[in-house]
A = this chain, B = another copy of it.
């Protein structure tokens, strides 16, 4: 069982099949899905699934602090990240894919910011925008 389900359970929330499936996708997928992506991925297994249920579950997870939102990736939709460890997200502005990038300094910075700003930091959104290697090549070769 992943930490999302554990979190829901210890918060006293019900573990419905829909929620289990949504948490599984968030936990497994590396592409930081949007609500719409989760919905379409689950539709074959849950033909009556509602997009509203996906949104409601994502909001619950967010309020519990179990997922972070990354903002949109040029596609106008909110992307969700279940990895709470301080890390960097790399967004390709062309293909809208999002990957993770670990950088040791990130953790150190968060502590520095908290100490020097007086803020009680609850979460972070560290996103770099640019062209991924594949899109750089596609851009260079013709097109």
| A binding-site residues for B, Cβ under 8 Å | 69-72, 88, 90, 92-93, 99, 101, 103, 105-106, 108-110, 112-114, 116-133, 136
Q: Evaluate contact between B123 and A128: CB separation under 8 angstroms.
A: yes
**In the bound complex, CA of A72 to CA of B118 (Å):** 22
Besides A103-B113, A119-B133, A122-B131, 8 other A-B contacts (C-beta < 8 A): A71-B72, A103-B109, A103-B112, A113-B128, A119-B130, A119-B136, A122-B130, A125-B129
Q: Evaluate contact between B112 and A123: CB separation under 8 angstroms.
A: no
**In the bound complex, CA of A101 to CA of B117 (Å):** 8
Q: Which residues of B have CB within 8 Å of A105?
A: 105, 108-109, 112
Q: Evaluate contact between A119 and B113: CB separation under 8 angstroms.
A: no
Q: Which residues of B have CB within 8 Å of A103?
A: 109, 112-113
Q: Which residues of B have CB within 8 Å of A119?
A: 90, 92, 128, 130-133, 136
List the 6 closest pairs (A to B, CB-CB), nearest first: A71-B71, A118-B133, A121-B130, A125-B127, A120-B131, A119-B130
Q: Distance (Å) between the CB of A95 and the closest chain B CB? A: 12
Q: What are 16 A-B contacts with C-beta separation under 8 Å?
A: A71-B71, A71-B125, A101-B117, A103-B109, A103-B112, A105-B108, A105-B109, A118-B132, A119-B130, A119-B131, A119-B133, A121-B129, A123-B128, A123-B130, A124-B127, A126-B126
